[in-house]
Amino acid sequence: MTKTNWAKIDEILNGKKNGKTVSLRGWIYRTRSSGNIVFAIIRDSTGILQATIKKGNLPDKEFEDAKKALIESSLEVKGLVKEDKRAPGGYELQVTSANIINFAEPFPIVKDQSPEFLLDQRHLWIRSQYISSILKIRSTIVGAIHKFFRDRGYYEFDAPVLQPNQCEGGSTLFEVKYYENKTYLSQSWQLYAEAAVFALEKIYNMGPTFRAEKSKTSRHLSEFWMAEMEAAWMDLHDVTEVAKEEVKFILQEVLKHNKNELEILGQDIKKLEKISKSKFPTITYTEAIKILKEKEKMKVEWGKDLRTIEEDKLLKHFGTPVVVTNYPSEIMAFYKPSDPKDPKTALCFDMIAPEGYGEIVGGSQRSLDVKEMTKRLKEMGEKIDNYEWYFDLRRYGSIPHSGYGLGVERVVAWICGIDNIKDSIPFPRTLLRYKP
Ligand code: 4AD
Ligand code: MG
């Protein structure tokens, strides 16, 4: 038996197969027929292609089957590739053989359906050009993050998902029964990373992260992927620079590999190119408050965390992501140290994306002061025993170190220019949704 040489649609659209006979397999994306001709759009993982199936050009039974086949039926076709300006992508396939692999039932997704319906049908909606373009970009972003850190000598380091401690506050923990005890799903890789920098110095990780977020916003997921880094000897300034470089590298990789997908999503490629070459500014929280008060005439109080609306207004004054440092100590996680030069503020930072995408990175220098951290944890009602292992890190060769976490879905949403973070992950988990 000879092995079929299956072509992919992108090779055809590249013009490489013009005038040649090819075999192709995929799914029917759209179809309409009139009398003795069927116009089908076929899709595979690489694109969509118009196929013209004419009675007489293929065995009658195959023609009748092709005419009957509904959208999302899977099939194999063979035909001649012809340049045709009118066809989407500029090429069409003149079919000489069609073999339906599976006759699909009437597809539940038709035009103009509500976002909730599409989320119920996510297992099918994932095939759409919209979601699959986002997923391709997501894949590039995930690859870029690994490449960024590995090329710079970071080790990939894994932390447990089941953890006895909180990292980012008790109110968003998911509790898991653990035999006779209880643990929590990881809110962050950080505390374990802080143990590992004594062995590996520069480390990173990307993995599922869990937060029982009680809010229903377009920025929050209950399960999301965080890409974190932690490095010995680095201070706040050092890690903000790494974060800026990382985000620019991610953008450049997407621009290199996914122009096609960005176009399908209607994203402004020129704008992203400009951002990828720009310098990202760093300002302090206090400066941010000043901008909001003076330029936006907002009533904002020094001491409160920046809310979504404030972040959005602030970013109107910049064309790129912005790093904001030195938030008020009081509202920050227990491990963020006070800045000796301005003790009311912490040595921490957020990177905020433009156009309403909000905080994409959060990080800090790490406190080395066991007394201070104990006090903060006690105020939060934490059992100090659970943190003794963490305090040991300050007892045996303590060093300055810093790190941050980047929200993968926030970055995907921003780069793709999509309305809701739910579309940046294949199967979103939120306050109201854990299916399918
Ligand atoms: O700012 P966060 O909470 O920082 C930490 O967890 C640190 N322990 C990280 C570190 O220093 N290693 O979270 C980091 C980022 C945020 O900036 C945001 O982009 C994203 O994770 N993030 C979320 N993304 C989607 N849904 C949520 N519920 C998120 N919570 C945080
Ligand atoms: Mg944060």
pLDDT tens for each residue of 377-421: 999 899 999 999 999 999 999 999 999 999 999 999 999 999 999
In a domain, 113, yes or no: no
Is the pLDDT assigned to residue 355 strictly greater than 70?
Answer: yes
Tell me, what's the pLDDT at 169? 86
Q: Are residues 164 and 53 in the same domain?
A: no
In a domain, 108, yes or no: no
In a domain, 112, yes or no: no
Whether residue 409 has its Cβ less than 6 Å from ligand 1: yes
Is the pLDDT assigned to residue 54 strictly greater than 90?
Answer: yes
Query: Which pLDDT tens digit goes with each residue over 93-109?
Result: 999 999 999 999 999 99
Band of pLDDT at residue 1, cut at 50, 70 and 90: low
Q: Are residues 221 and 352 in the same domain?
A: yes
Q: Are residues 274 and 339 in the same domain?
A: yes
Indicate the residue among 50, 73, 102 that finishes a domain. Answer: 102
Indicate the residue among 73, 102, 131 that finishes a domain. Answer: 102
**Residue range 209-217: average pLDDT?**
91
Kindly give the number of the ligand 1 atom that is closest to the alpha carbon of 190: 12
**Residue range 5-26: average pLDDT?**
96
Q: Could you tell me the CA-to-CA distances from 283 to 318, 319, 356 in Å, in that order? A: 11, 14, 18
Strands 91-102 and 47-54: parallel
User: Which amino acid is present at 240?
Assistant: T
Q: State the ligand closest to the CA atom of 431.
A: 1
In a domain, 429, yes or no: no
Q: Residue with the nearest Cα to atom 31 of ligand 1?
A: 407
Query: Which pLDDT tens digit goes with each residue over 230-285?
Result: 999 999 999 999 999 999 999 999 999 999 999 999 999 999 999 999 999 999 99
Q: Are residues 244 and 355 in the same domain?
A: yes
| Residue 183: strand pairing partners | 176
CATH number at residue 38: 2.40.50.140
Q: Are residues 131 and 96 in the same domain?
A: no
Q: Are residues 334 and 366 in the same domain?
A: yes
**Burial (Cβ within 10 Å: 0-12, 13-18, ≥19) of residue 189:** buried
Whether residue 321 has its Cβ less than 6 Å from ligand 1: no
Q: What are phi and psi of 121, to 5 degrees?
A: -100, 25
Is the pLDDT assigned to residue 4 strictly greater than 90?
Answer: no
In a domain, 406, yes or no: yes
**Residue range 11-27: average pLDDT?**
96
Q: Are residues 406 and 362 in the same domain?
A: yes
Is the pLDDT assigned to residue 359 strictly greater than 80?
Answer: yes
Determine the distance separating the centroid of ligand 2 and the alpha carbon of 359, expressed in angstroms: 7
Kindly give the number of the ligand 1 atom that is closest to the alpha carbon of 220: 26
Q: Are residues 90 and 215 in the same domain?
A: no
**Mean pLDDT in the chain?**
96
Q: Are residues 90 and 124 in the same domain?
A: no
User: CB–CB of 226/408 below 8 Å?
Assistant: yes
Q: Are residues 325 and 179 in the same domain?
A: yes
Q: 413: closest CA among 353, 334, 336, 366?
A: 353
In a domain, 110, yes or no: no
Q: Are residues 129 and 87 in the same domain?
A: no
User: CB–CB of 78/21 below 8 Å?
Assistant: yes
Determine the distance separating the centroid of ligand 2 and the alpha carbon of 360, expressed in angstroms: 8
Domain hosting residue 225, numbered range: 119-424
CATH number at residue 258: 3.30.930.10
Q: State the ligand closest to the CA atom of 211.
A: 1
Is the pLDDT assigned to residue 216 strictly greater than 90?
Answer: no
Determine the distance separating the centroid of ligand 1 and the alpha carbon of 306, expressed in angstroms: 15
Per DSSP (E only), the strands in 9-117 are 21-34, 37-44, 47-54, 74-83, 91-102
In a domain, 45, yes or no: yes
* Domain tally, the chain: 2
Indicate the residue among 56, 72, 102 that finishes a domain. Answer: 102
Tell me, what's the pLDDT at 244? 98
Q: Are residues 281 and 206 in the same domain?
A: yes
Torsion on CA atoms 413, 135, 158, 386, rounded to nearest 10? 50
In a domain, 111, yes or no: no
Is the pLDDT assigned to residue 211 strictly greater than 70?
Answer: yes
Is the pLDDT assigned to residue 376 strictly greater than 70?
Answer: yes
Tell me, what's the pLDDT at 118? 96
